[in-house]
Structure 1
C-alpha cells in the first residue's frame, strides 16, 4: 500500500494507543479467537496468491476477511478506523501540509498486538511457554511457506498492494525469483542508494530504508520512545552491566531504524570501519510496531530475538554496535559480511527474511552528533522516513581520538553511583512501584 497523505488519513479516526486495541473489538472476542485467526492467516499464505487475503494484508483492506477469520466486528473496524502510524517526510515540517504521511498497519500485526495487550493477566499469559511457542511456530511456519517455490504466486499482489517500483531492482524480472523470500530480500542496482560525501570518514549514514528515531542517550530514548520497564543497553546487547562491552556503551547515543514489510530489507553499514564479533541472542517474536515499543509494560527490543555485530569506526577508533532485531513473522537474520572485513558507509551488512524488523545502532558517549532535523522529529516524537545512505550524523572526535580507558572509567563511576543510590528506601520503593505498573 502506498503512503497516504495526512489529510486522507484524517478522514477516519486513528487507533493510536493500546487501550483502544480492546475497546474497538467486541468483548466476546477472546485471545483464543485471535490465536485461531493468526493461525488461519499464516495457513492461508500457503494457498492464497493475493496477500490481501493473508497475513500481509493492510488492516484497512481486511474487512472482507471477517467471516473467514471468525472475528465479529473486524469489518466495522477496518471500515471505520485507521490502524497504523504517521511518519515524517524528511526536509519538511511534520506540522505543515505534506510534512507527514500515514502508513497502514498489517493485519497480522494488529491481531498480534491485540493478543499482546489484552489485559494485565493476559500479558502474563503471553509470557507463558504456550503463547511464546505459538508465536515462534507461526514465524517459522511463515518463513517455510515463503521459502517454498509455490510462494512466487504472492509476489505480483505484494508489489501491487504496497505500490513497489521495480525500476531500481538488480533483477526487475519477478519470474527470475525462486520464491517470495528471494524477492523480499531483493537486491538493488548499484548506485540506487548513494552515500552522502563518501570520502568523509567522519560522517555516519542511514543503515536501512526505514522509519528512524535518534536519541543522544538511552535516557532520552526512554523519555520519548522506548517505554519498556526493563530496557537498557546491557539487556539489548545481551551483556551483564559490568562487562566491558556494556560499560563501553553506557550513556551512549542510539539510532533506531524500523523496517516495514514493503521496505527494501537489506541493511547497510552506517560507518566506515572494520567488522568485529557477531553474537546471537535468542528471544521472542513480538511486533516492533511503535505502539508496542511505546508501551510501558512491554520490552520488545530486549525480549525479541536479535543478533549483535560489533565494529570499529575507522576515523575515531570508537566501537559501534549494530543490533539486528527480529519481529513477528520474521523468518531469519542473515549477515553477509565476516569478521575482519573492511567496509565503507553504504556497504551491505545483511538482510531480514520476511516481515517487519528493526536495526539499532549504538555509539559510545561523546562519539556521535546526530543531524538536527532527526533529533527534532524524534522528540516530538515522530519517526522520519529515510533511505540507505542518507545523512545520519557525524563523529565529534578527531582521528583515533576515542579514549577507551576514560569511557570505561566514567561508566564505572556511573554504575557505582547508581548502586549507592539504589540502596536508599525511596529508590527501592520507586523500583517496586515501577514493577507493579508492569503487571
Structure 2
C-alpha cells in the first residue's frame, strides 16, 4: 500500500501550485541540468520519490517539496501472469509538461497555445541533441542505477563502450534475450516492445476505457481523410497500445509475420504520452503528436496492419531499421526500429477479425490497467477463419 495519496490528474484540480512561467522555467532547467550534470535522478528523472535529492529545483519550483510529500505521482501496472500491481513513478518533467497543458489558463485556449507547443518541441529537440553529444556518456551509469537496469542481456554489456547516451538508450539486446512465443505458428501475434500494454478489440472500446481525446479517430491517427481507402480498411479495427517508459529497451519489433510496406511521416506536437494525459478528456495525444506510420501486409491473411510509432515529450527521433526496407519480409519478433531519447508509444492497428487478444490482456485493459510486457510475449492470435 502507498503511504500517501496517489495523485489523479484532472484539468479542474491544480495540485502542483505553480504559475505557467515557473513550470516552463522548471522544464527548461531540468533539460539544461541534464547536459551539465551526470546524475539523471537529480534532473529529468527526478520524481516525487527523489525530488529531495534535487535541492536546486526547490527554489525554481516553490512548493515542489510539499507536493512530493503529499502525493505519489505515477501509475500502477500489473505484472502479467499475476494480480500483482507495481507502482511506477512519473518523472517530474512529464508532470510539468502536463501542468503546462492543463493549467494556468482556460484549458481550451492553453491546449492550442503556440507558446506551449513551441516550448515542448524546443526542449524535446534540445534534449535529443544533448544526449547525442559524446559528453552525455557521463549520464549512463546514473541512468543504469536509477532504473536498476540489467546489462547482462545487452549485446554490448560494457556501458563504457557506448559513444553517447542516446546510443545506450537505443541499445541492442543479445539475439536470444527476447524469445518469441509460438514463433512457428503463423497465426500467433506477439508484443512489439518491452512496454506497458493495453488492448481493445474495437476503437470504440479503446475510447470507452482508455483514449479519452475527442479527436481520436482512425483517419486522424493515420493522417488521412475519412474517405481514404485505408480509413475504410481500418474501420472498426482492433488496437494494441504499447507504452514505453524511459527505463525500457527502446527498440520495437514486428508483432506479425509480414511484408514491409510504405512509411508515412506525420509532423506534430511533443506532448507527454503518460496515461494520465491519454486519459484526459479533450486532450488528443496520439493524433496530435509527431508520428511515423508503417504499413505492413500480414502474411497469414494478406490484410494490412498499421504500425504507428508516436513521438513524445523529450523524444528526439523515431528511427526505422528493418521497418524502413520496403518489400522486405519479416518474422514476428524481428526488429523494425527504435526511439531515441524518451519514453514513447506504438499503436498497432489490426483490421477487424485479424486478432483475438489474449483474455488476460483484455481483462486488465477494461479495469483499466496496463500490463507489463516484453518483446515476443503472446499478444493474441488470428482466428482460423478470417
TM-score (norm 1): 0.85
- The SS at the match of 1:331 is coil
Select the residue among 76, 79, 97 that pairs with 1:86: 76
CA distance in 2, matches of 1:53, 1:138: 17
- Deviation string for 1:268-305 (max 9, x for gaps)? 00000100010000000000000000001200000000
RMSD, aligned α-carbons: 1.3
Select the residue among 350, 375, 378 that pairs with 1:391: 378
Q: Determine if contact 2:264/2:294 at 8 Å carries over to the other structure.
A: yes
Q: Determine if contact 1:21/1:114 at 8 Å carries over to the other structure.
A: no
- Name the structure 2 match of 1:292: 277
- Deviation string for 1:68-102 (max 9, x for gaps)? 35111101222231100000111113xxxxx1101
Q: Determine if contact 1:16/1:85 at 8 Å carries over to the other structure.
A: no
Give 1:171 shift: 0.3
- Name the structure 1 match of 2:145: 160
- Name the structure 2 match of 1:416: none
2:241 is equivalent to residue 240 of structure 1: no
- Deviation string for 1:324-376 (max 9, x for gaps)? 00000001000102100100010000000011100000011121100000000
2:3 is equivalent to residue 45 of structure 1: no
Q: Determine if contact 2:16/2:64 at 8 Å carries over to the other structure.
A: yes
Select the residue among 54, 67, 76 that pairs with 1:77: 67
Select the residue among 165, 171, 181 that pairs with 1:196: 181
CA distance in 1, matches of 2:282, 2:148: 35
Q: Determine if contact 2:311/2:345 at 8 Å carries over to the other structure.
A: yes
CA distance in 1, matches of 2:104, 2:289: 20
Q: Determine if contact 2:20/2:104 at 8 Å carries over to the other structure.
A: no
2:195 is equivalent to residue 210 of structure 1: yes
Structure with the higher fraction of residues in helix conformation: 1
**Which aligned runs of 4 or more in structure 1 are off by greater than 4 angstroms?**
none
- Name the structure 2 match of 1:355: 342
- The SS at the match of 1:211 is strand
Q: Determine if contact 1:66/1:74 at 8 Å carries over to the other structure.
A: no
Give 1:125 shift: 2.7
Q: Determine if contact 2:42/2:50 at 8 Å carries over to the other structure.
A: no
Q: Cα gap change, 1:276/1:154 in structure 2, threshold over 3 Å: closer, same or farther? A: same
- Deviation string for 1:38-66 (max 9, x for gaps)? 01111111111000121122332113435
- The SS at the match of 1:275 is strand
Q: Cα gap change, 1:274/1:235 in structure 2, threshold over 3 Å: closer, same or farther? A: same
CA distance in 1, matches of 2:290, 2:262: 17
Q: How does 1:207-356 map to 2 (within 5 A)?
A: 207-337=192-322, 338-356=325-343
Give 1:17 shift: 2.5
CA distance in 1, matches of 2:104, 2:281: 13
Question: Bigger shift: 217-226 or 117-126?
Answer: 117-126
Give 1:16 shift: 2.0
- Name the structure 2 match of 1:145: 130
- Name the structure 1 match of 2:109: 124
Give 1:377 shift: 0.4
- Name the structure 1 match of 2:24: 35
Select the residue among 6, 16, 38 that pairs with 1:25: 16
Structure 1: tracts of 5 or more residues without a match: 1-6, 94-98, 402-439
TM-score (norm 2): 0.97
Give 1:67 shift: 4.5
- The SS at the match of 1:46 is helix
CA distance in 1, matches of 2:267, 2:346: 16
- Name the structure 2 match of 1:107: 92
Aligned residues: 383
Q: Determine if contact 2:218/2:234 at 8 Å carries over to the other structure.
A: yes
Q: Determine if contact 2:258/2:330 at 8 Å carries over to the other structure.
A: yes
CA distance in 1, matches of 2:5, 2:67: 11
